[in-house]
Amino acid sequence: MTDYDLIELAKQASENSYSPYSKFKVGAALLCRDGTVFLGCNVENVSFGATNCAERTAIFSAIINGHREFSKIAVVGMSDGKIKDFTPPCGICRQVLKEFCGSDFSIILFDGKNTKTLTMDEITPNWFSEF
């Protein structure tokens, strides 16, 4: 599974996005260490705070199916049917990814032309881990 394969799957996932409010369709493809891929899209709600992002949808789908070992995730965001820029995970998704993903996990972004790969350490400095 190349990064471009994973990006392609993220694009496909974005087609199922339910985003009547933002009209921003996000897709995520999460690659497990055993090669299984789980897809996610954003699912919006009229009560905006109830919205679930694509990344969390993918992670939660993997967890409910018994998968907890992940190696990378590709994320794309489409507006007007086009990918116009990189879509890095929001703060809540970063915290959720951090719960399950170690330093070797990669976040692959695509702006329609170029890819950008981020590490967990880059997206979660000084993260909340103890209480």
Active-site positions read 55
Q: Which of residues 35-54 bind ligand THU (CB under 6 A)?
A: 42, 44, 51, 53-54
Please select the residue that binds ligand THU; options are 90, 98, 106, 120, rule is CB under 6 A: 90
What is the DSSP-derived secondary structure letter of residue 18? B
**DSSP codes, 24-89:** EEEEEEEEETTS-EEEEE-B--SSGGG-B-HHHHHHHHHHHTT---EEEEEEEEEETTEE-S--PP
Q: Position 111: which residue type?
A: D
Stretch that binds ligand THU, among 21-29, 65-73, 109-117, 118-126 (CB under 6 A): 21-29
- Tell me which residues touch ligand THU (CB under 6 A): 19, 22, 24, 26, 42, 44, 51, 53-55, 87, 89-90, 93
